[in-house]
Amino acid sequence: MLYLVGAGPSIEYLSLRAIEILRRASRVYVDTYTSIAPGLDAENLRAYAPGAEIVNADRRMLENESTKIIEEARHMDVVVLVPGDPLFATTHISLILEAYEKGVGAEIVPGVSGIQAVIDSTGLQLYKFCRPITLVYPEGFKPFSVIETIWDNMRRNLHSLLLLDLRLDEKKAMTIKEAITILLELEKELAKEVNGDLKIASSIVVGVARAGLPGSKCKAGKPTTLLKEDFPPPPHSLIVTAPRLHPLEAEALRRLCDCTEC
């Protein structure tokens, strides 16, 4: 069998189902590029997968060598272990589809997603979020579409969750402060072209560092406020809130994210 298993934000979030599968696995491929999940390494995983060969897998291995992994699963139990939920921020569904096409048994085991951990840290209401938006470093191009999407969400009174650029192979992870700086610069430039109001600059934004992990931090306020704040190391996420907060949301941001401007 091929198992696509979500590990959650850290090894402490492994479900009973995940542990059961790891115990009988012959090979475990650990996704090392989707996100940062403390404890997902060979030393810690040996306690849960004592009979397995543990392989640190980069994007090339899981995408370009998928046929090899599926052929292994024809003869043994193979686990692809992914930080967070196995399908929330990956293209790993292609592994499952290829396994089905080749007649190899496959199962998806959900995990606690980093996205849910971020939202839970804030107390904001899930039904008021748009689809997640990825903010990448503006290298070679300027992602104005991110600004336009956030503006559109504001018109619909929706929160915008931004997943920040994560390049683990380059040891590079976008921080909350970097994200805010990029957004403000892009918005200022785009607003001149479309003659629109600067909306992100005057909004309440929420920075969440290391959601679901020890030492996590949530801080909400105007962008200029967060630029003065210190955060623990990544992973980081940023939320641009809807213009009109529900009273419970405003209270949650005050209590959970130290917002004095909500």
Whether residues 248 and 219 fall in one domain: yes
The SS3 call for residue 46 is coil
| CB-side neighbour CA atoms (13 Å) of 56 | 10
Residue pointed to by tokens 């967070």: 84
**The last residue of a domain, from among 92, 109, 126:** 109
User: Per the domain annotation, does 262 fall within a domain?
Assistant: no
Give the whole-number percent of the chain exceeding pLDDT 70. 98
Whether residues 46 and 99 fall in one domain: yes
Whether residues 141 and 215 fall in one domain: yes
DSSP one-letter string for 165-223: PEEGGGTEE--HHHHHHHHHHHHHHHHHHHT----GGGS-EEEEESTTSTT-EEEEE-H
**The last residue of a domain, from among 109, 144, 170:** 109
Name 103's Cβ contacts closer than 8 Å, sequence gap at least 6.
Answer: none
Residue 233 is predicted with a pLDDT of 95
Residue 205 is predicted with a pLDDT of 98
Residue 196 is predicted with a pLDDT of 64
Whole-prediction pTM? 0.91
CATH number, domain containing residue 96: 3.40.1010.10
**pLDDT above 70: residue 194:** no
Domain that holds residue 236: 114-257
Whether residues 125 and 216 fall in one domain: yes
Tokens representing residue 56 in the block = 């640190």
CB 6 within 8 A of CB 82: yes
Tokens representing residue 150 in the block = 């956030």
Whether residues 58 and 164 fall in one domain: no
- Of residues 140 and 21, more confidence is placed in 21
**The last residue of a domain, from among 78, 94, 109:** 109
Mean pLDDT of 65-84: 96
Number of domains in the chain: 2
Residue 169 is predicted with a pLDDT of 81
CA distance 185 to 16: 46
